[in-house]
Amino acid sequence: MTCIRTHERRLSGLAVMIAAICAMLQVNRVEAQDKRQAAEDECIIRYTPDGDLTEVLRNEGFKFAGYDKLCRRLRAADMAVDFTNSSGVLRERSYAWVTVRLYRRSNGVLSKSAYSTTILSDIADTPRAQRILWDSVNQALDAVANNPEPYFASVAAEEIRLRSVFTIPKKAPSAK
């Protein structure tokens, strides 16, 4: 009888340990799901990398009023942002300009519609040029966020145009 009770105690101790491990695994699974959901909820604007601009965005990130709205719209449409830009110091002034276009990530089709902004500064140094480049990017993206339709429609129109140009016609049945 004693052996059985001892065995039952060992089993119940083992059962408690197994239950504890299962509970830990469940907590870890829930935490992992929460982290995945948080990552999905956090919206990141994807863009084509460019040396100076990539460095500025890595340090400062994006900061404009319509960020969340534009980001979610881009993600839903499988689109990203393409930047053409320049900044520097020229004739005792800092300058920065950026042109923003959208493109479909799955096929690389780029919009013909673009938004451009230019900023000049009387402070002639590289840090100022980088700062106004960041300002230019945020101003341009905010403008796109406030009126996104022409840019999204431009990508769709370009996709239609390219399909019509590059579609291979089906062969007609050969007459025998």
CA neighbor of 161 nearest in space, from 93, 99, 101, 112: 112
pLDDT at 23 over 90: no
pLDDT at 110 over 90: yes
The pLDDT tens digits for 143-152 are: 999 999 999 9
Give kind and range of the element (H or E) at residue 66.
none
What share of the chain has pLDDT > 90, as a percent? 61
pTM: 0.70
pLDDT at 92 over 70: yes
For 89-113, b/e burial (b = at least 16 CB within 10 A) is: eeeeebbbbbbbbbbbeeeebbbeb
Q: pLDDT grade, residue 70 (50/70/90)?
A: very high
Distance CA 145, CA 147 (A): 6
Distance CA 76, CA 89 (A): 39
Q: Is 169 exposed, middle or buried (0-12, 13-18, 19+ CB in 10 A)?
A: exposed
Q: pLDDT grade, residue 167 (50/70/90)?
A: confident
